[in-house]
Chains A and B, each alone.
Chain A
């Protein structure tokens, strides 16, 4: 049984209007890293908010670890798209706030030590006493990442965690994330707009079609060794096949899925299966 199972998910914000997405179905195995890609506004953040329990779906349900998600919980850590730091707290206090929520009985020193450790991990050991307003966008995002990791959740939900970072910092933090993930075997669901980032980090990539009535159109398996490095990535011929498939989807095929009957998304292994770009989108009907 997968760690997370999403079935028949849909979300309608304004009653009577078309749903932002519908018939969204996918699952995530324990320890798996799943990335979702799609055009802006298709509903990625909404799906993530439903997984986190912050929003309730209009139809369908989310099962995590055998239990239906009814609300937010400490088992799922969230990195928000808007970093959502408390501006009246210092960087350290922001992370301490989360650590204390997770372990209310820990002493102040223990809490601060743990918070500091995670802030050092994202390279902010020098900025503990700063207020969020004194940080750059990328630094704020790193505090958000440290806050989510510091509570050691069973699953992490990341909403474009590296969106605001410059290429150099982004690379360093991606490497850090890879290291942590490999060490902790954490289950991760992440949103990104960066195709290379998706290939570097993901075990599987969910491709979301355009809304309204968006859906998970295709699922791409990243058929490369799990322990990838940024430096070695582009030496693997698989990398280009996967990359081309993703870019083709975003550029030309993300509109083709509107109005198809409900069904399981296609699972693709670019370069290993049939050529997906030339074959039309076929949705396997489920009774």
Chain B
């Protein structure tokens, strides 16, 4: 096992190096190889430093952006120029609040649905219709009724986090083994205690799987939502840098979105491991 992880890590590094190498070669300024040194000087005299403003940015430019933004992640120079940590913080804040609100609704409601086939059947048509709606489709409605772009963003996260958690909670609760419920019944366990000591632990792996899916979707959606709403957040940062034609910054932001998404998913993977039980 150990040597294998070591090997796979080495291979990952090699693949990354190869990718960056190919990228570097593909974005080398073509002028440098074709033109003479004299022409180069001529270009410098004319104020054209290189082809970097027009072509796809080489990896070195991204490296510079990384050093620049991670070197000072917390600066705040007005609405259009904030450090990357501040922008990510805004996005994570919206995702966190929207996700928690969704959990507060989805888990109790999912419990009710999961325990009562009647309520399940009554609510099923609504869930089936609401679930496939792209969360961004709610944005105009949210902006119109809430009139606050920040809260509208949170609302969109709330809506998109709701369904996977709701459905998984209901599914997990409905699937709790009869034997365990029977044990609770023969011990005359009160409903609230039964919910917390039997049903919740029994359904926890399914519920956390739903939460993990919700969080994944929320992190996908927040970038798009912030592009639409503007103001703050990593999505707005991407949009703003695109408007500045600062592609290295856009690529840097993409990298950060990926890394934060991975960290969030890892968090839920750990939670999942913690609540999973072997039968």
- A77 and B277 in contact, given A84-B180, A86-B180 (Cβ under 8 angstroms): no
| Chain B interface main SS type | helix
Verify B187–A97 contact, CB threshold 8 A: yes
| Chain A interface main SS type | loop
- A86 and B279 in contact, given A52-B186, A101-B187 (Cβ under 8 angstroms): no
* Shortest Cβ distance from residue B241 to the other chain A in the assembled complex, whole angstroms: 47
Number of interface residues of A (CB under 8 A): 24
* Shortest Cβ distance from residue B208 to the other chain A in the assembled complex, whole angstroms: 13
Distance between Cα atoms of A248 and B186 in the complex (Å): 36
Distance between Cα atoms of A71 and B204 in the complex (Å): 28
The listed residue (B182, B188, B201, B278) touching A84 by CB distance below 8 A is: B182
A76 within 8 A of B: yes
Tell me which residues across on chain A come within 8 A of B179, comparing CB atoms.
Answer: 80, 82, 84
Verify A151–B278 contact, CB threshold 8 A: no
The listed residue (B197, B204, B277, B278) touching A97 by CB distance below 8 A is: B197
B189 within 8 A of A: yes
Q: How large is the interface on B (under 10, 10 to 19, 20 to 34, 35 or more residues)?
A: 10 to 19
Verify B180–A71 contact, CB threshold 8 A: no
- A88 and B201 in contact, given A73-B188, A101-B189, A131-B278 (Cβ under 8 angstroms): yes
B185 within 8 A of A: yes
B105 within 8 A of A: no
B170 within 8 A of A: no
Complex: chain A residue closest to B185, CB-CB: A72
Per-residue interface assignment for chain A, residues 60 to 97, with 1 indicating a CB less than 8 Å from any chain B CB and 0 otherwise: 00000000000111101110101010111000000001
> Which chain B residues have a beta carbon within 8 Å of chain A's beta carbons?
177, 179-180, 182-183, 185-189, 197-198, 201-202, 204, 275, 277-279
Tell me which residues across on chain A come within 8 A of B279, comparing CB atoms.
Answer: 87, 132-133
Tell me which residues across on chain B come within 8 A of A77, comparing CB atoms.
Answer: 186
A98 within 8 A of B: yes
* Shortest Cβ distance from residue A144 to the other chain B in the assembled complex, whole angstroms: 9
Distance between Cα atoms of A131 and B276 in the complex (Å): 12
Complex: chain B residue closest to A86, CB-CB: B180
* Shortest Cβ distance from residue B68 to the other chain A in the assembled complex, whole angstroms: 49
Distance between Cα atoms of A72 and B184 in the complex (Å): 9
Distance between Cα atoms of A101 and B198 in the complex (Å): 13
* Shortest Cβ distance from residue A129 to the other chain B in the assembled complex, whole angstroms: 15
* Shortest Cβ distance from residue A161 to the other chain B in the assembled complex, whole angstroms: 15
Distance between Cα atoms of A66 and B201 in the complex (Å): 38
A102 within 8 A of B: yes
Verify B277–A84 contact, CB threshold 8 A: no
- A86 and B183 in contact, given A131-B277, A131-B278, A133-B279 (Cβ under 8 angstroms): yes
Verify A87–B277 contact, CB threshold 8 A: yes
